[in-house]
Amino acid sequence: MSNVSDPYREFLRRTRRSREFHERSRKSTALEVVGTVDMPHPVYIAEGSGSRVVDVDGNEYIDLSMGFGCHVLGHAHPEITAAVSEAAALGVQFGIHTPCQQPLAELLCEAAACADLVMFCNTGTEATMYGIRAARAHTGKQGIAVFEGAYHGAHDGVLVEAADGSPRDRPAAAAMGWGVPEAAVEQVLMLPYRHEAAFDLIRGNRGRLAVVLVEPVQGANPTLDCGDFLHRLAEVCREAGVLLMFDEVITGFRLAYGGAQEVFGVTPDLAAYGKALGGGLPIGAVAGRADIMRRFEWQKHREQQDKVFSGGTFGGNPLTMAAGLAAVSRLRSHPELYDRLAGHGRRLEEEIGRFCRERSLPMQVLTARSMIHLRFQRGRIVSARDVDRSLAEAEREFYTRLMLEGVLIPGDHLALTSTAHTDGDITRVIEAVEAAASATRGL
Ligand SMILES: Cc1ncc(COP(=O)(O)O)c(C=O)c1O
């Protein structure tokens, strides 16, 4: 299978229709999605069910992208599909009030320790944007701090990364790509991840920082040994008078029903949600302390000095609310599903980890339950900046071979399982990783 001598040519042979779609789409679309996997062309998915997706050429894959994390219950879960069909028949969107938001809002308030109140929007990007705005309004300060290696969405306010070559204990913020205003970058203090210096930087910038935004488990670096770090972070923020916002866009309803807040026992002031909360439909939500969240209560023609603007045609639309309610209700009534998700990460870490160690491969498996990241790296990994670029070509070949083995992991290489993944699927993923790694040159 994946031990063909030229995996790229084999990939092209198997994905001819995808290639046709890609060539056609380039005439009308600047960018469809950020690349599925770094390959000659993307594969186009025709359908998905449970743990599987099938591409337009008829190739079936065990999917470890899960809609970039939306589908904790797997693709096309029958309860979600039924709820969406029922809601669609009643009209998909009204803009004005419907009774649809309240049930999901109540579940989120119950699940998330920080959530006195919630506000729905459409994406994780919007959720972090609104959360930051509320934090600025509440504290009267402008600056925000984020950690190297984090991703918090695509708005200007967070499109920063650690500048290449900047010191480990004091990374500089650089715009991620062109078009991000310098003024936005200047508002961001970049913090070293899981590094003592981060706490000093927060203390030293307390006068200008409104909020520290953190992925409690980084998608690029998923591990569960960050509990102490998060406890200390919360303490330092509290002492410094800086708000703490968890970005639970991936971890919410995935790591545990109560997200990272439940797993680590840390309660931030605010949290951003997305992905799993919407059961596969577009969603974002800000949740947090009532005194901060009340600032969203904007009303036309009233004194608005201390209010925060939010808007959006689709926020809290009935279709998304129906999908989210079906997904979250199912997860709530089946807590054992989280044991299954945790078991996936455990097995993948143990078995692939053992294989890599036995063969002295420069690959490490990082896991936080159903969040799994294969890192091509020798030596200890602390932050997402610990990257060995000399292994980039081998990594590309490995992922191509993995697709030939019938396993799909998205371009950011964060693999995510769902409750639909069986023990057999996990066994097959392990076999596929072993076969692809064994055949990859330069590993
Ligand atoms: C941790 C995190 N925050 C925010 C976002 C942005 O969410 P969305 O893509 O829904 O805008 C993402 C998306 O991958 C994410 O992983």
| CB distance 248 to ligand 1 below 6 Å | no
User: What is the predicted pLDDT for the residue at 75?
Assistant: 98
C-alpha 381 – ligand 1 centre gap (Å): 23
Task: Answer yes or no: is 1 within a domain.
Answer: no
Q: Is 27 a catalytic residue?
A: no
**Residue 236 belongs to what H/E stretch?**
helix 227-240
* CATH code: domain of residue 40: 3.90.1150.10
In sign, the C-alpha dihedral spanning 154, 51, 359, 342 is: positive
Question: Is residue 151 pLDDT above 70, yes or no?
Answer: yes
Asked which of 333, 362, 391 is the last residue of a domain, the reply is: 333
C-alpha 273 to ligand 1 mean position (Å):
9
282 & 366 share domain: no
Evaluate whether residue 151 is within a structural domain: yes
- 261 in a structural domain: yes
For residue 162, being part of any structural domain is answered with yes
Say how far apart CA 52 and CA 32 lie, in whole Å.
22
Determine the average pLDDT of the residues in 333-341. Answer: 98
Question: Is there a single domain that holds both residue 272 and residue 403?
Answer: no
Between 176 and 35, the higher pLDDT residue: 176
Domain end point (choices 333, 367, 393): 333
Catalytic-residue membership of 425: no
Q: Which of 274, 302, 333 is the last residue of a domain?
A: 333
- Which pair of tokens denotes residue 390? 């000399």
Q: Which of 44, 61, 193, 247 is catalytic?
A: 247
Q: Decide: helix, strand or coil at residue 95.
A: coil
Tell me: do 267 and 354 sit in the same domain.
Answer: no
Q: How far is the CA of 36 from the centre of ligand 1 (A)?
A: 16
Q: Give the mean pLDDT of 291-301.
A: 86
Whether 145 and 233 map to the same domain: the answer is yes
Q: Ligand 1 atom 12: the closest Cα is on which residue?
A: 153
pLDDT of residue 404: 96
Residue 125 beta carbon below 6 angstroms from any ligand 1 atom: yes
| Span 244-270, pLDDT tens digits | 999 999 999 999 999 999 999 999 999
Rounded average pLDDT over 271-292: 98
Residue 68 has pLDDT above 90, yes or no: yes
| C-beta 273 within 6 A of ligand 1 | no
CB-neighbour burial class of residue 69 (10 A; exposed 0-12, middle 13-18, buried 19+): buried
Q: What is the pLDDT of residues 169-212, one digit of tens each?
A: 999 999 999 999 999 999 999 999 999 999 999 999 999 999 99
The answer, yes or no, to whether residue 388 has pLDDT greater than 90, is: no
Q: What is the pLDDT of residue 36?
A: 60
Tell me the mean pLDDT in the region 122-147: 98
Q: Are residues 172 and 202 in the same domain?
A: yes
Q: Looking at ligand 1, which atom is closest to the CA of residue 251? A: 1
Exposed (0-12), middle (13-18) or buried (19+): which is 180, by Cβ within 10 Å? middle
The two three-digit tokens of residue 104, written as one number: 């999901």
Residue whose CA is at the smallest distance from ligand 1 atom 7: 124
For the chain, what is the domain count? 2
- The owner of tokens 């590993």 is 443
Work out the mean pLDDT of the chain and round it to a whole number: 94
Residue with tokens 């790591």: 255
**Active-site position among 55, 257, 275, 425:** 275
Residues 253 and 375 grouped into a single domain: no
Backbone angles phi, psi at 273, to 5 degrees: -125, 165
Residues 289, 168 within the same domain: yes
Q: Which domain holds residue 217?
A: 78-333
What is the pLDDT, as a whole number, of residue 104? Answer: 98
Indicate whether 121 and 195 sit together in one domain: yes
SS3 at position 301: coil
236: in domain: yes
Residue 35: pLDDT over 80:
no
